[in-house]
Each structure stands twice: as structure tokens, then as C-alpha cells.
Chain A
Amino acid sequence: MDAALSKNGCRMLRGLFGLVVVFLYAPIAILLLFSFNDSVLPSFPLSGFTLTWYRQFIHDPELIGALETSAIVAALSSVGAVVLGTLASIPLARRRFRGKGAVSALLLSPLVVPYVVLGISLLLLFHAVGVPRTIMTVVIGHIVISLPYTLLVLIPRLQQIDVGLEEAAYDLGANRLQTFRLIILPLILPALVSAFLISFTTSFDEYAVASFVVGSRATFPLYLYGALRFPSRLPEVLAVAVVVMTVSLVVVVGAELGRRIAERRLGALPS
């Protein structure tokens, strides 16, 4: 007999799991359905199949511009977050020093601060020092948001790596930088890639903080938020929604599977 779950219990929970999956995916399926529907209003009965909305969004310069802006912001902020995260995760994972608890608490604390507070505090900072709001101010804010996520990915990975490998490298005359470049870096590369992707998707999707510190160039979420107020633009937004969701799902799921496979290949690590 199984100690955790009876046969009937298992069947019931499987049913519940199914319902939850339906609840999670039905709204997404509805977006998909209405993005091909030949009507400005997303309502039943369906009026016919069309690709108009997809054609319309490809030729909407404002929308394409917003996607570009978001891509730039996401790329810059995730590079920044991964660099800072890598620097910080090495001592946090591998070394003992005084005040480690306080340091890691500070580095992780943006995780538990409501975004509205982060947003207005950055707004006041940039106002106080007289920095004009541009996409760079959004990048700065997004690095603050993404840095803790990179630590949550990198620290466990670094802790898995056998300290003996590093010691062997030192014994063979490698200095710290060489040890990092030749031993640590290849081993954490899959984790670095997933930290980058998490930061990228976080930034690409971030509205709350960006809404306070953005300049005149709207990011994609800001564009979306604006477009949602005009019902006539809804079908076009649905088409973009389908494309963006598909791409992000493929990238994220692919990256997670890739990381698993890569880390298994790198193997030879106590886990």
C-alpha cells in the first residue's frame, strides 16, 4: 500500500490537477481563438477565420517600436543583472565572511518589496538627482528586480560544484581568475544562461516599475497597457499576445530542458 495516497485519493487529485490545468490554459486558448476571429469584438458566436489582425500588427510601427525598445531594455538589464549576480554569488556560495547573512539579505530583499514601492522610490531618486527618464532608467530599475533571481539560480549551482576541483586548479598553479575562467565558468554556464533568460523575460514583461521611470519611448508592456484602453485595437493586441506568449513559452521551456540536459552532461558533480 502507498503511504501517501489511496487509489481513490489519487484519482480525485488527478481530476483536480486536470481542472487546474484547464483553468490555467483556457484563457490562453481563448486569446488564441479570438486572435483568428473575423470581428473587432471578441464575442460568441465566432464570425470566421482571418489573419487580418496578424497582418495589422506586423505593419504597426508603434507596436514594433515598443517590442524593439523592450528587447533592448531586457538585453541590457539582463546582462547587467547576470554580471552583478555572478560577482555576488561566488563569495555567497563559496566563502565565509563576516556579515554574510546581512549581505545576502540585502541582495535578495528586492524580492519582497512591492513593485509600486520600488517604482516610486526610483522615480523620486531620479527626480532628486535630476536624471531625465529614458530607457536607461528602466534598465537600472530592472537590474534591481532581476539581480535576486540570478542569485537564486547561481548560488545553488555554485554550491553543487566540488570544492576539490577548485583546489586542484590552485595546486596546479592556476590563479583565481584562471580557476574561474577554466573551471567554474564552464560548469555554471547552463545556470548563467537560465539566469539570463529569467532576467530577460522578467524585464520584457515588467510594467509596474517601468511605468514610473520610463521616458517617452514606451516599452512593450506600457504600449499594451495603453492599447487596452481602446477596444478597436483589441484584436491586434490579441494577435501580438499569441505571438509573444508562444515565443516566451518556447524559449523558457526550451531553456529549462536544455539546462537539465547540459547539467547532466557536465555531470561528475556531487548533487
Chain B
Amino acid sequence: MAGRRRKRLDLTTPGLLGLPLAWLVAFFLVPIGIVGAYSIDVFSIYPAKHPVTFAGWDDFLHSAIYLKLFWKSVRMSLIVSVLVVLLAYPVAYYLALGGTKRKYVLLLILIAPFLTSYLLRVLAWKVILGSNGVVNSFLYWLGVRAHDDPVSQLLYSRFAVMLVLVYVWLPFVALPIFVSLETLDRRLLEAAADLYASRWQAFRRVTLPLSLPGVVAAFLFVFIPTVGEFVTPSLVGGTSGYMYGNQISDLFGTGFPDWRTGSVLALFLLGVVAVLTGVFSRFLGMRQAGAR
């Protein structure tokens, strides 16, 4: 029947994938290509045409400031990710293996804050840590500190940035760890106990290795967004909490824009993140294959 074969909607595989792929090529891959073009002066904000130059990259790789700032951000972000995973793991362990009734309800309670506004949760800490904020006014009230002598390093510091980032990401990280522990075959633990392994030994030799993919995933889920973070540090970081992401954002801002340097910094960050994801996803894949 020729009439019925008339195509109204293309439901073949290329037909279905065409639009989503085109969208990502146009608004994700091409833009990154343009960043690359700006980083070597193929495109430039200045009207005069420049020859292709790697001066931007050269400056970046020999600059003390940008690389130092990058390592500072990596350090902060590493501390945050490790802390978050260390806090979330026992909590997820309790929910998954503690024999609790209503564990999904408890999990939802844990995750729910993540689903509310990010900026508003940062705002909450601004209210708590500010020099007229909750902590300081409480200290005045107790008489521990005088009114003109607030604990000033609470807000606008590296500490504030890391505290807020831990707060913001903690609920999110519990999920992948919970899933990896929840899908764990309990019979393995019983077998370990039958073979006279202590609970600690069973944890170290069975549970921990099998939940490692979830832990690595959780770690990456925090590390990748926080290493390029600029919103939280700009709200609670002050100068000492200034991060690499702030530098990128400022180079594209209205103050002293320098799109070439900004593009170099952004691509460098993207490269680091891509390598990390590649290395770890292979590691995750291997782990999962090995566990089966």
C-alpha cells in the first residue's frame, strides 16, 4: 500500500538521532571550536586581523598566576570532593545496608535539598556566616565576642567557599554511593561471614571494592563542577576564595575583557576534565566488568 508508506515522521535511527545530535553539534561542539579559534587568534575581539598565534597558550603555560590559581582550585576542589565522599559514604551505607525500614523515604530526605535552588542555599550560608550573621550575632549575644569584633574570616574566605561547596554537593553524592551499595549481592557478605571474616574484613575486602565504582562516580560528580566553580566563590569567597573559574568568568566580563586568555584558560580546564573523565570512565567500566 503506497499510501500508507508515505512518510509523515521519520522514525529510522538516523531520523530520530538527527535533531538531538545536530543540536549538540551546533550549540556544544561548534562553540567549543570557536573558543579554540579565539585561543589562537583566528577570531579576535580586536578589529585588526591577527595571524594565527599561540602566544596566548605560551603566556598561559609560562604564567605563574594562572597556573598557581589553577592548582589552588584543584586543591580546594579535591578537599571538597574527598570530604563529601567521606561524609556521604557512611550515610549511604547506613541507608543501603543498615536494615532500615523506609530507606527510600530517608534517601529522599537526604537528596531533597539538592533539588532546591543552588543560589538560595548559598545565600543561607551568607546569612549564617556574615559579620552581622547568625553565628556572629549569637556570639555577641553570648558575650563571647564584642560587637565591634566579629569573627571576620567566617565569610569571604577559602573556608567559606569549601564549607558551602560541601554543603551544596553532599546530598547529590549520596545517591551514586547508595546505588552501588544497594545493588551489592548480600550473599557475598554472608559468605564472608561464614568463612570467618570479621565485619571489618568483609567491608574492606568485599563491600568497599565492589562499591568503588559508585565512589569514583560520586567523586567525579563533585570534582568536575567544583573545579570550574565561580558562582559560590564570587558570593562567599572574597579575594582569598577566588578560584580559576572566577578568573575565566572575569576575562569575559565587562571590566578588562581578554577573550584570548580566557579561551586558553577555559580550554585548559576542559582538557583536564576530559582526561579525568576518560581515565576514570575506563576505570569504572573495567571495575563493573570485573564485578560481574
A and B pair up: yes
B120 near A252 with CB under 8 A, answer no
B110 near A21 with CB under 8 A, answer yes
Tell me which of B24, B31, B119, B228 contacts A124 (CB under 8 A).
B31
A125 near B110 with CB under 8 A, answer no
Binary CB contact string for chain B from 59 to 101 against chain A (1 if under 8 A, 0 otherwise): 0000000000000000000000000000100110111011100
- Tally B residues with Cβ within 8 Å of A: 92
Interface residues on A, range: 35 or more
B266 near A121 with CB under 8 A, answer yes
Beyond A30-B127, A124-B35, is A3–B120 a contact (Cβ under 8 Å)? no
B170 near A128 with CB under 8 A, answer no
Question: Which residues 92-136 of B have a CB within 8 angstroms of A?
Answer: 93-95, 97-99, 106, 108-110, 112-113, 115-121, 123-128, 130, 132-134, 136
B99 near A249 with CB under 8 A, answer no
Neighbouring B residues of A53 by C-beta, 8 Å = none
Tell me which of A95, A116, A234 contacts B266 (CB under 8 A).
A116
B24 near A87 with CB under 8 A, answer no
A84 near B20 with CB under 8 A, answer yes
**Interface segment out of the listed A54-62, A101-109, A161-169:** A101-109
- The B contact surface, by secondary structure, is helix
B9 near A5 with CB under 8 A, answer no
Q: How far is the CA of A43 from the CA of B249 in the complex (A)?
A: 33
B252 near A120 with CB under 8 A, answer yes
Give me 23 A-to-B residue pairs in the complex whose CB atoms sit less than 8 angstroms apart, sorted by A's number: A2-B99, A3-B199, A4-B199, A16-B94, A17-B95, A27-B167, A28-B113, A28-B121, A42-B134, A45-B137, A88-B21, A103-B21, A116-B245, A117-B266, A118-B31, A121-B28, A124-B31, A204-B117, A212-B252, A244-B117, A248-B115, A249-B112, A253-B108
5 shortest interchain CB distances as A-B pairs: A114-B228, A43-B137, A121-B31, A27-B124, A13-B94
Q: A112-B273, A114-B224 are in contact. List 14 more A-B contacts (CB 8 A).
A: A4-B98, A4-B99, A4-B189, A13-B98, A20-B87, A27-B167, A87-B16, A114-B228, A114-B269, A117-B32, A207-B231, A228-B235, A241-B124, A252-B112
